[in-house]
Amino acid sequence: MGNFQNVFKELRISRGMTQIETAEKLGISRSTIGMYETGAREPDFETLEKIADFFHVNVDYLLGRIGQTATLSENGSQYYLNDDARDMAQFLFKNPEYKVLFDASRKVKKEDIDFVKQMIDRVRGDSNDTGC
């Protein structure tokens, strides 16, 4: 996986974390952390994403595919194209039951999303709207 072992170790050390602390935060064993850092083992894709999210970097940086630091802010302000996209992503993260409505289409306008959200809220009884 390119330079993963070195990037991973550098990220851990730069955060002042031990292998044990990192393992606990990521939900994997300390020995696995050690194997990642020596190159004896590589993470699966799911774990790779978890590591990237934990350190707030993109996967390309973590894999050593890009040399510049690609640190993402914790609130996602550099990750999303605009505030609306960030707000909607956060809403969908907190309310996964709404996500299914938008899986079929990637070109949905914010107004359409807001409209569908209002309709779902009315059906679920989450709105102050009493109907007709």
High-pLDDT (> 70) share of the chain, %: 66
Angstrom distance (rounded) from CA 55 to CA 43: 15
How would you write the pLDDT of the chain (132 residues) with one tens digit per residue? 578 999 999 989 988 999 999 999 999 999 999 999 999 999 998 899 899 888 888 888 888 777 655 444 454 445 555 666 667 767 776 776 766 665 555 566 777 777 877 887 888 776 555 555
**Structure confidence at residue 68 (pLDDT):** 56
SS (H, E, C) 77-129: CCCCCCHHHHHHHHHHHHCHHHHHHHCCCCCCCHHHHHHHHHHHHHHHCCCCC
Domain membership flag for residue 130: no
C-beta of residue 99 within 8 angstroms of C-beta of residue 112: no
C-beta of residue 91 within 8 angstroms of C-beta of residue 33: no
* Region class of 42: left (phi > 0), else alpha (psi between -120 and 50), else beta: beta
**pTM score > 0.75 for this model?**
no
**Structure confidence at residue 64 (pLDDT):** 79
Domain membership flag for residue 18: yes
**Structure confidence at residue 38 (pLDDT):** 94
Tokens 């989450």 correspond to 126
- Do 103 and 58 belong together in one domain? no
Residue 29's CATH number: 1.10.260.40
Residue 103 is part of which domain span?
Answer: 83-124
- Do 57 and 88 belong together in one domain? no
Q: What is the pLDDT of residues 34-66, one digit of tens each?
A: 999 999 999 998 899 899 888 888 888 888 777
Q: At what angle do helices 110-124 and 83-94 cross, to 10 degrees?
A: 30
Q: Give the count of domains, the chain.
A: 2
